[in-house]
Structure 1
Amino acid sequence: MGHDVRIEHRPRRELAVVRRRAAPPELSRVIPEACGLVWGVIRSQNVAGAGRHVAVYLDGEGDVEVGVELESPFAGHGEVVGSSTPAGLVATTTHLGPYGRLHEAHAAIREWCRDGGHTPAGLAWEVYDHWRDEWNADPSAIRTDVFYLLDPGSKPEAESPARPE
Structure 2
Amino acid sequence: MEYAIRLEQQTGHPLAVVRRRASRAQFPQVVPDACGTVWKVVRAQQIPGAGRHVAVYLDNVVNLEVGVEVEATFGGHGEVIRSATPAGLVASTTHYGPYGQLAQAHQALQEWCRKNGHAMLGPCWEIYGHWQDAWNTDPTQIVTEVCCLLKAS
Relative to the length of structure 1, the TM-score reads 0.91
In the other structure, the counterpart of 1:162 is none
Q: SS where residue 89 of structure 1 aligns?
A: strand
Distance 1:12 1:62 in 2: 21
Structure 1: runs of 5 or more not aligned: 154-165
Residues matched between the structures, number:
153
Deviation at 1:43, TM superposition (A): 0.4
- Any residues of structure 2 matched to 1:45-60 within 5 Å, and which? 45-60=45-60
In the other structure, the counterpart of 2:91 is 91
- Any residues of structure 2 matched to 1:3-152 within 5 Å, and which? 3-152=3-152
Q: SS where residue 112 of structure 1 aligns?
A: helix
- RMSD over aligned CA atoms reads 0.6
% same residue:
56
- Listed one character per residue, the Cα deviations across residues 108-142 of structure 1 (whole Å, up to 9, x for unaligned) are 00000011110011110000000000000000000
- Over alpha carbons, which structure has the higher Rg? 1
Relative to the length of structure 2, the TM-score reads 0.98
Distance 2:14 2:150 in 1: 19
Deviation at 1:8, TM superposition (A): 1.4
Matched AA of 1:28: P
Deviation at 1:87, TM superposition (A): 2.0
Q: SS where residue 111 of structure 1 aligns?
A: helix
Runs of 4 or more consecutive aligned structure 1 residues displaced over 4 Å after TM superposition: none
Structure 2: runs of 5 or more not aligned: none
Distance 1:122 1:149 in 2: 7
